[in-house]
Amino acid sequence: MIFTDLIEKKKRGGELTEREIKFFVESVCSGSVPDYCISAFLMAVVLKGMTFNETLALTLCMRDSGEILRKGEIKGVCVDKHSTGGVSDSTTLIIVPVCAVLGLKFAKLSGRGLGYTGGTIDKLESFRGFNAQLSEGEFTRIVNETGGAISGHTAQTVPADKKLYALRDVTCTVDSIPLIASSVMSKKLASFADVIVLDVKYGSGTFMKTAESAEELAGIMVEIGKAAGRKVSAAVTSMNCPLGNSVGCNAEMRGVIDVLKGAENDLAALSKFLAVQILACAGWDKKEAEAACENAISSGAALNKLKEIVRAQGGDAAALDDPELLRYGKYKREIICDKGGFINKIDGEAIGRANVITGGGRRKKDDAIDHESAVLLHLRTGDETRRGSVLATVFSNDEGSLDDAVRMIQGAFYVSDVPPEKEILIHKLIV
Ligand code: URA
C-alpha cells in the first residue's frame, strides 16, 4: 500500500477500508512516513470527515497500537469517566471517592493540564508526595484496596494518539469530530473499565462551540464504546462559565473539599449527576443512586475516602482536614467591576489563560506549575453587579505577572443592562 494513495482517497471524500486504516496507524507508529504526509492526511480528514465505520476502525487500531491494561485481579464493576476538558473542572476528584464509597472500582487514568485547562493529576499533586505514576500492579492493588486510584497514562498506552495528538496540536487539526472521538475512545478502551461515562463540553474554551456539535461527538463516542462491548453514556454540558468558583490547583482542591463537605454549586450538581449516571450504568436504580450519592457526601464518607486514596498513593492528606494548608500566592490583586448591570457571560478560557500567565498553567508540556497561583471568582453568570463590586481576586508568587492577569480577567466578565437567559448546565444525556 502507498501512503499518498490514502491521502488522495480521503481528499476526494472516499471511505477508507479497515486495512487502509490499519496501514495508516502502523505507518504513524513505525515512523515510516514523514510528518508532513501524516499532517496532510489529518487535514483531509478534517475537511472531508469520516464515516462511523472508519472512525470505529481508527479507534480500535489506535487502541491496539500499544499496551492494553488488563482487569487482572480487580473484582467487581470497574468504572471510568472522561471529560473533554474545561476550566475549573474538578468533577473527577469528587466522583471517584463517591463511587468508591458505594462499592464501585474506579480505575482512573488522567492527564496533566496543558494550556489554559487544568489537569486532575496536577491538582492531586497539591498533596505533597502524591504519586501519579503508578505501575500497573500498584494501580490495580490500590483500586482493589480502596475502591479507587488515579494515575497518569504510561508511555506505552496508545502511542498512536501521542504522535497524532502532537501533530494535530501544531497543524490546526484538533477540532475534527472523528479525530477527537478516536483519540478519546482509543485511550478509554485501552483500559479495562466495564462502564465509561463521558462529559462532553461545549462553549468557551472547548473544542465544540455549540451544543449540537458536542451532541454529535457524544453520540459517536457512545456508539464506539458500545461497539467495543462497554456500557457507555455521555452528558453534553455547558462550559459558558467556569464550573467552580476558583481556578488553580490549590484553589480547585479547596473547591473539591467544599463540595465533599456539602457545598451546593455547579461543580457539586454536575459531579453528582455524573456519579449517578455511572451508578445507573453499573445497574443501580437512579433514585437510589441519587440518595446514595447525597449520603456518601453528607456522612463525610466520600471525604474520608479521598483521604484514603491520597494516602494510598503516597500523598500527605493533612490538607483534607485543614484546607488552609493549600496556600495561595503571596501577591494578590482584586478585579473591580467598572459598571453596574448583570453578568451575561464569564469567558472561562480567558480566566484559564490568566492562571497560565501567573504561573498556574503550562505553556509547554514539561513546564513546572505553581500550585499556589489562583483566581477566585466572587460573582457568576446571571449575578447582578455594581460599579466597584469585586468580581474576582487573583493570587500569584510572580508579582510582575499580575497586571496582565488583571486585564485578562477584567475582559472575561461581560456585563450588560439586561440579565442573561438562564444557562443550562446539563444539556442532554446520551445513552
Ligand atoms: N481530548 C483528547 O484526548 N483528544 C482530543 O482529540 C481532544 C480532547
Domains of the chain: 3-49 (1.20.970.10), 78-321 (3.40.1030.10), 324-416 (3.90.1170.30)
User: Cα dist. 279→81, 248, 326 in Å?
Assistant: 12, 29, 31
The minimum-distance atom of ligand 1 relative to the CA of 187 is: 3
Instruction: Give the CA diameter of the chain.
Output: 67
pLDDT in tens, 5-23: 999 999 999 999 999 999 9
Pairing of strands 246-247, 148-152: unpaired
Residue 81 forms beta bridges with which residues? Answer: 197
Residues acting as catalytic residues: 82, 161, 168, 183, 187
Q: How far is the CA of 208 from the centre of ligand 1 (A)?
A: 11
Tell me: pLDDT of 366 over 80.
no
The residue to mutate among 82, 109, 110, 165, having the most atoms of ligand 1 within 8 angstroms of its beta carbon, is 165
pLDDT band at 360 (very low <50, low <70, confident <90, very high): very high
pLDDT in tens, 75-115: 899 999 999 877 889 999 999 999 999 999 999 988 887 67
Of all protein residues, the one whose alpha carbon is nearest to atom 3 of ligand 1 is 184
- Measured between alpha carbons, how far is 242 from 244 in angstroms, rounded to an integer? 6
- In the chain, the N- to C-terminal Cα span, in Å, equals 38
Q: How far is the CA of 112 from the centre of ligand 1 (A)?
A: 13
Cell of 31: 515512523
Q: How far is the CA of 387 from the centre of ligand 1 (A)?
A: 40
pLDDT at 116: 79
Contacts of 360 (CB under 8 A, 6+ apart): 247, 248, 249, 369, 370, 371, 373, 374, 396
pLDDT at 368: 86
Q: How far is the CA of 180 from the centre of ligand 1 (A)?
A: 5
Q: CB atoms < 10 A from the CB of 227, how many? A: 16
User: Cα dist. 342→274, 392, 411, 414 in Å?
Assistant: 30, 15, 15, 8
pLDDT in tens, 202-258: 988 788 989 999 999 999 999 999 999 999 999 999 988 888 899 999 999 999 999
Of all protein residues, the one whose alpha carbon is nearest to atom 6 of ligand 1 is 180
The residue to mutate among 207, 208, 217, 224, having the most atoms of ligand 1 within 8 angstroms of its beta carbon, is 207
pLDDT at 4: 98
Pocket of ligand 1 (CB under 6 A): 84-85, 174, 179-180, 183-184, 207
| Contact present, 53 and 19 (Cβ < 8 Å) | no
Of the candidates 246, 305, 284, 290, the one whose C-alpha atom is nearest the C-alpha of residue 93 is 305
Strand, helix or coil at 61? helix
Tally the C-alpha atoms within 13 A of residue 404's C-alpha that lie toward its C-beta: 13
Strand, helix or coil at 96? helix
- Measured between alpha carbons, how far is 318 from 341 in angstroms, rounded to an integer? 42
pLDDT at 114: 66
pLDDT at 178: 98
Helix axes 92-101, 301-312, angle to 10 degrees: 100
Of all protein residues, the one whose alpha carbon is nearest to atom 5 of ligand 1 is 180
